[in-house]
Amino acid sequence: MNKIILIGRLTRDPEVRSTSTGKTVASFSLAVNRRFASKDSAVSADFFNVSAFDKTGDFVRDYTSKGQQIAVVGRLQNREWEDSEGNRKKATEVIAEEVYFADSKISKKNEEPELDFTNVDLSDVDSLPF
């Protein structure tokens, strides 16, 4: 079984392209904090390269941006290729099968919540229910 679940923050806006068949591919890097801090109390993170295809790629393109916290469910994949100079290259990446929001809308926008207060007539304080 090949399954990976990560929760982390996008280190940059997703890079989006289309395959030769017209499928969307969104690529991004996810910074995932390690469970325990190091001896000097600094939080360490691991960085994972993630690719999302088709509708998942469309979702990532349309609704995520740098700094946003997301959850990714997918699989690990190894790739090998030869570059233009004939050198063999290898990469391990996460292929996202599902992507979820793991952040509140407030923290994404760095704004205060919008509060809706009802005006209360204070001229007759005795009529207040408290």
Q: State pLDDT tens for residues 6-26.
A: 999 999 999 999 999 999 999
- Report yes or no on 18 lying in a domain: yes
- Report yes or no on 97 lying in a domain: yes
- Report yes or no on 51 lying in a domain: yes
pLDDT at 93 over 80: yes
Both tokens assigned to 12: 């940059």
Measure the CA–CA gap between 55 and 35, rounded to whole angstroms: 31
- Report yes or no on 53 lying in a domain: yes
Residue 58: how many other CB atoms lie within 10 Å:
15
Residue span of the structural domain in which 68 resides: 4-36+44-110
pLDDT in tens, 47-90: 999 999 999 999 999 999 999 999 999 999 999 999 999 999 99
- Report yes or no on 65 lying in a domain: yes
Mean pLDDT taken over the chain: 85
Most confident of 91-95, 109-113, 126-130: 91-95
- Report yes or no on 119 lying in a domain: no
- Report yes or no on 59 lying in a domain: yes
Measure the CA–CA gap between 19 and 23, rounded to whole angstroms: 5
Domain count within the chain: 1
Candidates 29, 38, 39; CA nearest to 67 is 29
- Report yes or no on 129 lying in a domain: no
| Domain at 51, CATH number | 2.40.50.140
- % of residues, the chain, pLDDT over 90: 69
The pLDDT assigned to 55 comes to 95
The pLDDT assigned to 108 comes to 47
